[in-house]
Structure 1
């Protein structure tokens, strides 16, 4: 029997290594609601330990930061670096699950992270799906055993797509009617996110 997310720890991995080409500046440092994006995303870890993969600017003290062996390889390479870091110490118990979050999700909440983890009772991967049916692979939770095995099958993670990583994996969708997983890719997105943050506090 697989252990349940309620009794075995999970780790929240936040990826900060994106090129931010459409934004034109390093997105995790951008201010939304008076705080850097990366700090807002790290709040969603709640009581779970967090691990940042990529540049550590704007990351609060006490949060572990690791870099990919070769920066710029994309989110799958970032996840591979996270898994390598989490499994490098034989004396440290392995987490049951890894929740992966992009560093440009200003409204994601700890309650949504818990919903993703709970969905792993019925799946090996839980992914956020917006109101239009689009899957956000960078707001998702994996069983660590499944993720490790899939990365090994994939081989070279550099430049691989999240869609390819998830192909064939038993997946559960987690609806997001409140757009908690709204991402910020462009200056227009940033302006809208700032308006939303100023208008009302984030709700679960």
Structure 2
């Protein structure tokens, strides 16, 4: 099985080595490590499936690649490795269903392996790393840091319709990042998410204090 893990790592590297969106090799390595850490609490889970899915989860992301072609390539890769059919189906199930767009409620994923990998990916979207990745992603797609369209208080009290705001890094915090704490599946991920969520809150308060001081 280790040779499969190494092959999956090398496959991932080829796809992510030029990434400038925050979905780079370092992101995948962190998700892989976090997933392994969370999996320790579930010795009955299939750790091979967890590692493979964690390493390959962004190789088909339609924000980054043409997903149809990417899924076809991934299928060929897993077939060439002669991954067992049950394991292959489990890996692909995780990859297809773990995204924020696919699963916005706790408990929707059918397997513990999927819940673990989803938690690991979501943990890397919050905290200090999550903040850095958000601004990197926005910069890559030429979105501003913030547009100044509304106030911190209105955002904090949900007094503004996010759909009316132009895309920006800060908007993404309210659309996604601040929601992730309550979408974790496993107890260990919930603990880690609480700490990282508090850091997001501190950052936003500081950001708006500084933004407002320069926009009188």
Return the TM-score normalized by structure 1.
0.29
Structure with bigger strand share is: 1
With CA pairs under 8 Å and 6+ residues apart, which has the higher RCO, 1 or 2?
1
Structure of larger gyration radius: 2
